[in-house]
Homo-oligomer: A and B are copies of this chain.
Amino acid sequence: MATPPPADGEADIGAINEILGFHIRLAHGACLRHFTETFTDLDLTQKQVSVLWLVDDHPGIAQTDLAQRLRMDRATTMAIINRLQAKHFLRRDRSDKDGRKQALFLEPAGVAMLARAKQAIGEHEAWVKSRFSDKEVKLLIDLLSRIHE
């Protein structure tokens, strides 16, 4: 249903349902909720998984680069990195090229956790994608990409 629960049998074709941003927020909320349930055992958040994934794809990546890729503030990035470091999932190394930068690398525990996380993400994605055909998934990704480009 476009609006969550019409509650009664009222018409309820309120203009708020025609607001694109409204649907983006609800869809995001639904995804976040399911993600959280899927990851309760692993005790990881969406952002944390994204960071582990990107550090694995780009060993030695700097915090600033991470922040840009995930559209985060530097301070926000710090908070996430701190939590992951406290769990020994990654480490900070001083960059050789630029003394200001910290090069990030996954620790063994981080590699192991990422492997488990990717499997959980597979389940989570299957839940989301079950509503769509392959063609629709590609279309949706294309449309959403135009927003966050």
State the main secondary structure of chain A at its contact with B: helix
Nearest chain B CB to A120's CB is how many angstroms away?
A: 11
A69 contacts B3, C-beta separation under 8 Å: yes
Q: Tell me if A37 counts as interface (CB < 8 A to partner B).
A: no
The distance in angstroms between the C-alpha atoms of A6 and B4, with both chains bound, is 37
A53 contacts B20, C-beta separation under 8 Å: no
Q: Tell me if A2 counts as interface (CB < 8 A to partner B).
A: yes
Instruction: Kindly state the interface size class of chain A when it binds its partner.
Output: 35 or more
Q: Tell me if A46 counts as interface (CB < 8 A to partner B).
A: yes
A7 and chain B: residue at smallest CB distance: B65
B148 contacts A26, C-beta separation under 8 Å: yes
Contacts A14-B57, A16-B57, A57-B16 known; A145 to B68 CB distance under 8 Å? no
